[in-house]
Amino acid sequence: DTEVTQTPKHLVMGMTNKKSLKCEQHMGHRAMYWYKQKAKKPPELMFVYSYEKLSINESVPSRFSPECPNSSLLNLHLHALQPEDSALYLCASSVRTGSLDSLTTQYFGPGTRLTVL
């Protein structure tokens, strides 16, 4: 089973709201990722968690706050977003030990479509 789930599927929020995106996997993967994808563009990496610790932050604004409370769950907390933050937010996961083959292979969830008004 290579399933990554994300909730909610769609989210509409105002610029003063606080909301959270959730990502879950039960494959035993210990690396988890957040990507942002604007319309007609490729995904862009935001954060990488390795063994529940933040290992890569791609200079993302502080209004995006990631959290990895356990090995199966990844959250993205949103606060004071701007309309230009509207996008598809994708979560992915991969194993953290083993061959380079498995380390580099990421499995994606279906995404959360975020609209900021």
Partner 1 sequence: AQSVTQLGSHVSVSEGALVLLRCNYSSSVPPYLFWYVQYPNQGLQLLLKYTSAATLVKGINGFEAEFKKSETSFHLTKPSAHMSDAAEYFCAVSDGVDSSYKLIFGSGTRLLVRP
Does 107 sit near partner 1 (CB under 8 A)?
A: yes
Helix, strand, or coil (residue 103) = helix
- Residue in 20, 50, 71, 75 binding partner 1, rule: CB under 8 A: 50
H-helix or E-strand containing 4? strand 4-7
- Residue in 8, 41, 61, 77 binding partner 1, rule: CB under 8 A: 41
Per-residue binding letters, 1-40, with partner 1 (x by CB under 8 A): -x-x-x------------------------x-x------x
- Residue in 11, 34, 36, 48 binding partner 1, rule: CB under 8 A: 48
> Which segments of 58-99 are extended strands (E)?
64-70, 73-79, 87-94
List, as one string, the DSSP characters of 7-18: E-SEEEE-TT-E
Q: Any residues with CB less than 8 A from the CB of 14 and at least 6 apart, and which? A: 116, 117
- Residue in 12, 15, 56, 117 binding partner 1, rule: CB under 8 A: 56
